[in-house]
Amino acid sequence: MEPLAHTVRYVSTFGDPLFATMEDHVKAMKLLSRLAWATAIVAGSASLGCSGAAADDDAIVDDGAEIKAGAFLGEVGAIRRDHSPLNITGERLQLILENLGLQKNAKKPKRGALRCLPKETFFLLKPNGEPLATVELACDEEKRTNVPGTLKVGSDSYLITAKDIDDINIVSYDASRVGDFFFTANRATIGGIGRDNVEVPAAKIGSVLSALKTDEKPDFSKTSSGMRCPPSRMVTIYNGTQSLGTIAMTCSEAERGWITAIMTPAAGRPGYAAIPAGISVNAGAIFTLEKSLNK
């Protein structure tokens, strides 16, 4: 069973096998999302908002300074919703950045800021987890496409536009991926029963992560109870001294290629229950890395 932390906020989990791509999933779920928003608008009509001026009138614009989104933001490691501890990385991150016009080589946003209470807030994070920028969207809850917003980077603000806020919500509320669990990883160890741990330094952590299908959804129907022998290798992934989780590989050291291993998120991480799940691991890549580090 998938842990509660990864189910209560999803728009849909049961329908996922029916969709070939994330884009198909977004299209299929958009109608449900719009209906949910319509209900929320009716129920919350008395809530705080902006002054009632048109969206274009809510912006303070400085036409004098323009920047290139991908260049000035640098590398974005993850995005988080306001009041959520869950990281969004990989394919889902790129879809949201493209929706916001903040992908690499994007058009230049102008300096400026909306003058209203935002309805949606997101936080962009650097690859090491440090804050990078804040995205505030929407003065009017009824406006769902071409939604104006403000990108705040330090003390500077820039005007951006979300193509479709329902698409962003569907993608961001969808199930966490393998890469989300290991965001900010900067070292690892490879070991096993009766074996000394081999340290994987920061310079080689990419070799561990590339041996995982980071955009894959963990399969919580496959647990460690299905592994009836000691694992051939245990890979523990860290941020500094903090464990992010462990990966138990199958029993046989002869296994190569893509295998099903058991990932267990580290206990005590907000939003990530320490429940084992099946994930795909390139066993050959892990054994090759271990051998190179043992030289």
Helices assigned H by DSSP within the chain: 22-43, 69-73, 90-100, 165-173, 178-181, 205-209, 283-293
Interval 126-176: pLDDT, tens: 999 999 999 999 888 888 999 999 999 999 999 999 999 999 999 999 999
Q: Which of the 8 DSSP states describes residue 225?
A: G
Q: What is the pLDDT of residue 189?
A: 97
Q: What is the pLDDT of residue 150?
A: 96
The CATH code of domain 178-293 reads 3.30.1490
Q: What is the pLDDT of residue 21?
A: 58
Interval 189-231: pLDDT, tens: 999 888 889 999 999 999 999 999 999 999 988 765 556 678 8
Q: Give me 258's structure tokens.
A: 């893509």
Q: What is the pLDDT of residue 131?
A: 96
Contact of 139 with 58, CB cutoff 8 Å:
yes
Q: How confident is the model at residue 30 (pLDDT cuts 50, 70, 90)?
A: low
Q: What is the mean pLDDT of the chain?
A: 80
Residue 232 has pLDDT above 80, yes or no: yes
Residue 25 has pLDDT above 60, yes or no: no
Residue 15 has pLDDT above 80, yes or no: no
Contact of 211 with 218, CB cutoff 8 Å:
no
Beta-carbon contacts of residue 8 (< 8 Å; ≥ 6 apart): none
- Dihedral of CA atoms 189, 193, 194, 199 in degrees, nearest 10, equals 0
Q: How far apart are CA 231 and CA 293, in angstroms?
A: 20
Residues of the chain with CATH 3.30.1490: 178-293
As a whole number of angstroms, the longest Cα–Cα distance in the chain is 69
CB atoms within 10 A of CB 8: 8
Q: Give me 113's structure tokens.
A: 């800021």
Model pTM score: 0.76
Q: Dihedral sign, CA of 86, 9, 7, 94?
A: negative
Distance from the Cα of residue 209 to its chain's centroid: 15
Residue 45 φ/ψ region, left for φ over 0, alpha for ψ in the -120 to 50 degree band, beta for the rest: alpha
Interval 67-107: pLDDT, tens: 556 667 889 999 999 999 999 999 999 999 999 999 988 87
Q: What is the pLDDT of residue 148?
A: 95
Span 115-120, mean pLDDT? 90
